[in-house]
Chains A and B, each alone.
Chain A
Amino acid sequence: MKEKETENKKGISNWIDERLPVFTFINHNLRDYPTPKNLNYFWNFGSLAGVTLVIMIVTGILLAMQYTANTEMAFDSVERIMRDVNNGWLLRYIHMNGASMFFIIVYIHMFRGLYYGSYKYPREILWMLGVVILLLMMATAFMGYVLPWGQMSFWGATVITNLFSAFPVIGDYIVTFLWGGFSVDNPTLTRFFVLHYLLPFAIVGVVALHLVALHQFGSNNPTGIDVKSEGDTIPFHPYYTVKDYLGLGVYLIVFAFLVFFAPNFLGHPDNYIPANPLQTPAHIVPEWYFLPFYAILRAVPDKLLGVLLMFAAVMVLFFLPWLDKHKIRSANFRPFYKQFYWLFFINCIVLGWVGAMPAEGIYVLISRVATLYYFGFFLIIMPFLSKFEKTTDLPSSISAAVISEKFDNREPSSSESYVK
């Protein structure tokens, strides 16, 4: 009798929770979850990336219901989505621009990590899982761009798959294998469609691991100092749910502006011409988010070396935790690293810019210098600074940093806000 009473008191959510601890899990990870109290708006980008992934999957599933993966019909089926399907134009424009937004978000997320040393002990695996997500995103985005089967789709697919032909002996076999034939054709399109649908779910899986790894030690913060006491943290809800929600609102405004007012701004008009295997467009460029890597590829006069360097440009990120072994995480307390970091940031923009320019004249020289700095930053400057850079005084704790920022009349940098 008494047992029954207590059980009644507990209610249905507790009945479920006892058997399947979903509510405990949510409470632990989204509510009470202790979070450093000094996170600035750069810490919004993780949740924004998660939201974007969901947007991409939802719109992608709906698009897949209308799309036909066949070289004869693919282009027309996309045009049908644009013209005949109810709100099909909206669906496609969200998905198309969503890819760009996803990369913007993730790139900012990564630059945040790079600035505040979020990849350092004990978050090495967290960072590496992030790089895995980036790789999966790149593969997914590339294959998705092929699906409309326009000129840029076709020739982009041809150029990118041909990268593998640079490898001696096995290169041609790899390319034939990727194509499932002797050129980019129907077998290539169907497998790209299948993989484009499959890989996002792999991304979801890695994101889950990314979150598990994140919650193991909790978020890094702008000071880069470990959480030392409960006073350094605030519960995730309502403080960061509200902050994330505000960020989401601003983000969706930008996203919606792109979708409704400039849906083709980031695309290439040539992709509205059906694929023609007999004619290459005069000026082939990848989507903007691949441009820096494309610039590195073209900076090198040797085919194999260019391809290897381009892959290395992503792969080097895996080794970041061991290239930068400096004890201090945040660039705020590393005057030299901070300057090289901003130079690196500008350098990436420059790489993206020359990637969009024709590979001739001054652009080649610029891309070479920029490529040199890209790798120099990781392979020379980082290890060097880890050894020799002296640091400014670290605050004794997150709370101390927040208080001194507030009361010492020290000018707080615009990117750093704090929660009361």
Chain B
Amino acid sequence: MSEKNLKDKDLSDSVDEEKRDFLFITTAGLAVAGGAVTAFSLIDTMNPAKDVLALSTTEVDLAPIEEGQSLTVMWRGKPIFIRHRTSEEIRTANNTSVNELKHMASDESRVKNPKWLVVVGVCTHLGCVPLGQKIGDNKGEFGGWFCPCHGSHYDTSGRIRKGPAPLNLEVPPYDFVSDEIIKIG
């Protein structure tokens, strides 16, 4: 019906196809660009906000931690394991042949000062918090940490030795601000 109307008015001859294409492409292009920018701005609101990002560093005073003791601190909502290692623990960690490891890394590469091991206390398997920070905890077969969720064993350098976890416990970025204070993040 409508087509017939159009034909009656003989519009088809007067259509400027080029102009029409130009209008269509510019209109659609602008709509897509505007939509994309708007969508990005809206989705971006779900990214970490400024107050969340502001929490990205934590300072820890190491002085109260005796040899053999551990401390757990929060950094970005995650537990950070800080262990004041005994000389024996350091020795075991150093004596392990790197080639035997599932995720090869020497103990040296994982510490700034061999006395202090700082790792993110989140199992690399599925994100549970391993045991081993408290005195009575099961420290696993290698004297480090043991994840109760699916049985991953970590050694005194926080390296994965047995169980389903694919990677060593992550070492967070940190620096010694002074001999006794570290800044994580």
Contacts and interface: CB of A to CB of B under 8 A. Distances in A.
A and B interact physically: yes
A58 B27 CA distance: 24
Interface of A: 58-59, 62, 65-66, 80, 83-88, 90-91, 230-231, 233-235, 245, 420
B51 interface: yes
B88 interface: no
A65 B43 CA distance: 12
A322 B46 CA distance: 50
Contacts of A420: 9, 11
B179 interface: no
B95 interface: no
Contact of A230 (B1, B44, B50, B52): B1
Given A230-B1, A233-B1, A87 B45 contact: yes
Q: Which 5 A-B pairs have the closest CB atoms?
A: A230-B1, A84-B50, A84-B51, A84-B49, A85-B49
Interface string B1-42: 110010001010000000000000001000000000000011
25 contacts: A58-B42, A62-B45, A65-B45, A80-B49, A83-B50, A84-B51, A85-B45, A85-B50, A86-B45, A86-B47, A86-B49, A86-B50, A87-B41, A87-B42, A87-B44, A88-B49, A91-B42, A91-B45, A230-B2, A231-B1, A233-B1, A233-B2, A234-B5, A235-B2, A420-B11
Contacts of B52: 84
Interface in B87-107: none
A398 to B, nearest CB: 13
A84 B50 CA distance: 5
Nearest to A86: B44
Contacts of A233: 1-2
Interface string B39-83: 001101111011110000000000000000000000000000000
Contacts of A230: 1-2
B20 to A, nearest CB: 11
Interface of B: 1-2, 5, 9, 11, 27, 41-42, 44-47, 49-52
Nearest to B53: A84
Contacts of A231: 1, 5
B25 to A, nearest CB: 15
A273 B141 CA distance: 60
B49 A234 contact: no
B50 A66 contact: no
Nearest to B3: A235
B51 A66 contact: no
A231 B2 CA distance: 7
Contacts of B45: 62, 65-66, 85-88, 91
Nearest to B1: A230
Q: Which of A83, A86, A245 has the most CB of B within 10 A?
A: A86
A234 B4 CA distance: 11
Q: Residue among A59, A85, A88 with the most chain B CB within 10 A?
A: A85
A86 B42 CA distance: 9
B49 A62 contact: no
A80 B42 contact: no
Q: Which of B2, B9, B41, B47 has the most CB of A within 10 A?
A: B2
A65 B46 contact: yes
Given A80-B51, A87-B44, 11 more contacts: A62-B45, A65-B45, A80-B49, A85-B45, A86-B44, A86-B45, A86-B50, A87-B45, A233-B1, A235-B2, A245-B27
Given A83-B50, A88-B49, A59 B2 contact: no
A86 B51 CA distance: 10
Contacts of A80: 49, 51
A57 B46 CA distance: 16
Nearest to B44: A86
A85 B46 CA distance: 8
A62 B1 contact: no
Contacts of B27: 245
Contacts of A58: 42
A231 B44 CA distance: 49
Contacts of A90: 41
A87 B47 CA distance: 10
B46 A62 contact: yes
Nearest to A65: B46
Contacts of A235: 2
A85 B49 CA distance: 4
Contacts of A234: 2, 5
A133 to B, nearest CB: 25
Contacts of A62: 42, 45-46
A66 to B, nearest CB: 7
Contacts of B5: 231, 234
Nearest to B51: A84
Contacts of A85: 45, 49-50
Contacts of B2: 230, 233-235
Contacts of A59: 42
Which has the most chain B C-beta neighbours within 10 Å: A87, A230, A235?
Answer: A87
A62 B51 CA distance: 17
Contacts of A245: 27
Contacts of B46: 62, 65
A246 to B, nearest CB: 10
A44 B6 CA distance: 24
B4 to A, nearest CB: 9
Nearest to B34: A252
A419 to B, nearest CB: 10
B19 to A, nearest CB: 14
B43 to A, nearest CB: 8
